[in-house]
A and B are shown apart, each in its own frame.
Chain A
Amino acid sequence: MKILVLLASLLFCYTVNASNKPSLFKTDSYKQLIEEKKQPFLMVMWSLDCPPCIKELNSLGMLYKQYPDLNMVLVSTDSPERIDEINNLLNRFDLQNIDNWVFSTDSIQKLRYTIDPQWYGELPRSYFHDKQPTERSAVTGILDTQHIVSWLKKNTEVTPDRLTKY
């Protein structure tokens, strides 16, 4: 019996770590991100059902190519059963290797609340977590790439070489 459990556990580990796939965003995930993520970071909420989000992912994908050190978290607010569609889209914009998450089956309202009680679910919705852990700003709608760049300048010690990449 023990062997069977061991085999089952091994198979389980293999299944969940087989590739760099989105993690499930649960009610404690945001707290965990704030505690563990190196500040500053940009967190972008998006969904398969949101046409402007696709434009957003496209421009973030291009930005990420230019600046692979961009500390970014992408959270899909779709349900977990749409994981294949989510992965396809992330692959399409070369965003599959960043810190990706997808909302778990917890109440969507509860998940949103853990991030921001004042967020009504409009998408895309982005949170700029500044150098100072207590400071963050929220933006609804497609991000202006220039806005991200200025935020980076303000919050990271970037060298002039790096900046010219923009």
Chain B
Amino acid sequence: MKTLNLIVNFLLFITLPVAGFASHGDASAKGDALSKCTNINQIPSIDCASAPSSVFSTKGRLWTAWSYAGHVYVNYSDDKGKTFSKPVTLNLIPEKISARGENRPKIVLNNNGSIYVSWTTPLKKRFTGNVRFSYSNDLGRSFSTPVTVNDNLDITGHRFEALSVAKNGNIYLAWLDKRDRFKAKKEGKDYHGAALYYTWSDDGGKSFHANKKIIDHSCECCRVIIDIDNNDLPVILWRNIYGKNTRDHALVSFDSASKPRKPVRVSYDNWQVDACPHHGPDLSISKTGDYHMAWFNNADKSHGLFYMRMGKNNKRTTPFNFGNYKATASHPGVLSNNNQVWLTWKEYDGKEETVWSQYSANNGETFDKAKTVAKTTKGSDYPFLITDNKNIYIQWKTTQEGFRLIEIDKYSSQVMQ
């Protein structure tokens, strides 16, 4: 029997996509969530996805977008992520999909029930990609054939897209774009970083306006975030390059869908590094109109996670340093509702990955003591704060436990039992 097991194990090993190594490792631990995903003929589960996104509808239905084996899927859960509907495939023709850490399929819902999904498809050359979009107007039963949103089709970077929908139905997409860098290189010129471009649709995603540039020289590999402000217009936050290599954060708001204002610098940590931080910011605009921001920087004098609020006339609060820097506090999320603010982030102590949360009842002036939300030992995605407008949840996908939605107390950020 042992011999048979040995042969079976050996045969299993040679079928795994790890050929070409000088030694080999465990493909995935038995019993963890990913082990459900070995049968390619089975309908995939969200547990198979490394980087899912989720959002609540106004009726409390949790919608998720995720990818697996070349397809983007959307499904929903009516029991807060315990069970899910059969997933619907958005791209019938398989394509590469960026789904890891900073980049993942995104999903937003229009008030009329329409569902909008975006993702990045990498192209053949390294650091290249196109921004893809698909919509459903029949409550997720079917989706439109995906379209490429970037109107420049050079084999260059159009990646790290952010997606949002305003109350008036306008759909906004912003992303890191290397068309200008591509052009500069062709002309033998230098171009540092990428650029931030955006577009919008005012017909429910059937068409998009011509792409517009917001700024040159953004950081290249950090996620971009959009939220909608009290004027029903987008606000975009991203990591920018200032001067030669100072990687701080910038924000742009709009006068109208077609008129971005001048971007403003919002962080002054002065992290000077010619490297990829792979660590984008987060943004949440409260009903009071304040911009609540969270980010990571690793400058000598100003490092770790930071929370800051920006109000009228771009008045900024002193950044609040949170999380345990010595336990690699990373990948912060922020959510606001009137004067309430929640933060989440990830830490690692050498054994366990832990998600934390912290709560402010006074518009981010002060925060209560940080609390542990959940732990895992075999690898995890970033944590995300989401709300169904009644309660607060943290989405956390872990290798071992799969997709989880953890409810936290809305007056303390303590985990609800």
User: Could you list which residues of chain A lie within 8 angstroms of chain B, going by C-beta atoms?
Assistant: 1-2, 4-5, 8-9, 11-12, 15-17, 19-24, 26, 47-54, 80-81, 83-85, 87, 89, 102, 104-110, 112-113, 117-125, 140-142
Query: Per-position contact with A for B273-295: 1 when CB-CB < 8 Å, else 0?
Result: 11111110000000000000000
Q: Could you say which of A2, A51, A54, A124 contacts B221, with CB atoms under 8 Å apart?
A: A51
Which B residues, 325 to 373, have Cβ-Cβ distances below 8 Å to chain A?
A: 326-328, 330, 348, 350, 353
- Asked if B274 and A49 make an inter-chain contact with CB atoms under 8 angstroms apart, the answer reads no
- Asked if B28 and A8 make an inter-chain contact with CB atoms under 8 angstroms apart, the answer reads no
Q: Which residue of A lies closest to B328 (CB)?
A: A120
B262 proximal to A (CB < 8 A): no
Q: Return 5 A-B CB contacts under 8 Å, by A number.
A: A21-B22, A53-B276, A117-B327, A122-B298, A123-B276
User: Could you list which residues of chain B lie within 8 angstroms of chain A, going by C-beta atoms?
Assistant: 3, 6-7, 10-11, 13-14, 17-28, 126-127, 220-221, 245, 273-279, 296, 298, 326-328, 330, 348, 350, 353, 377-380, 399
Chain A residues, CB < 8 A from B328: 109, 112-113, 117-120
- Asked if B17 and A141 make an inter-chain contact with CB atoms under 8 angstroms apart, the answer reads no
- Asked if B330 and A120 make an inter-chain contact with CB atoms under 8 angstroms apart, the answer reads yes
- Asked if B298 and A21 make an inter-chain contact with CB atoms under 8 angstroms apart, the answer reads no
CA distance A112 to B350 in the complex (A): 9
Chain B residues, CB < 8 A from A123: 275-276, 278
Q: Taking A5-B6, A107-B378 as contacts, is the C-beta distance between A122 and B21 under 8 angstroms? A: no
- Asked if A108 and B276 make an inter-chain contact with CB atoms under 8 angstroms apart, the answer reads no
Q: A102 CB to closest chain B CB, in angstroms? A: 8
Chain A residues, CB < 8 A from B278: 49-50, 121-123
- Asked if A48 and B126 make an inter-chain contact with CB atoms under 8 angstroms apart, the answer reads yes
Chain A residues, CB < 8 A from B126: 48, 54, 85, 89
- Asked if B25 and A140 make an inter-chain contact with CB atoms under 8 angstroms apart, the answer reads no
Chain A residues, CB < 8 A from B18: 24, 80-81, 83
CA distance A137 to B6 in the complex (A): 44
Q: A130 CB to closest chain B CB, in angstroms? A: 21
Q: Could you say which of B19, B20, B275, B326 contacts A118, with CB atoms under 8 Å apart?
A: B326
- Asked if B23 and A23 make an inter-chain contact with CB atoms under 8 angstroms apart, the answer reads yes
CA distance A26 to B328 in the complex (A): 20
- Asked if A122 and B379 make an inter-chain contact with CB atoms under 8 angstroms apart, the answer reads no
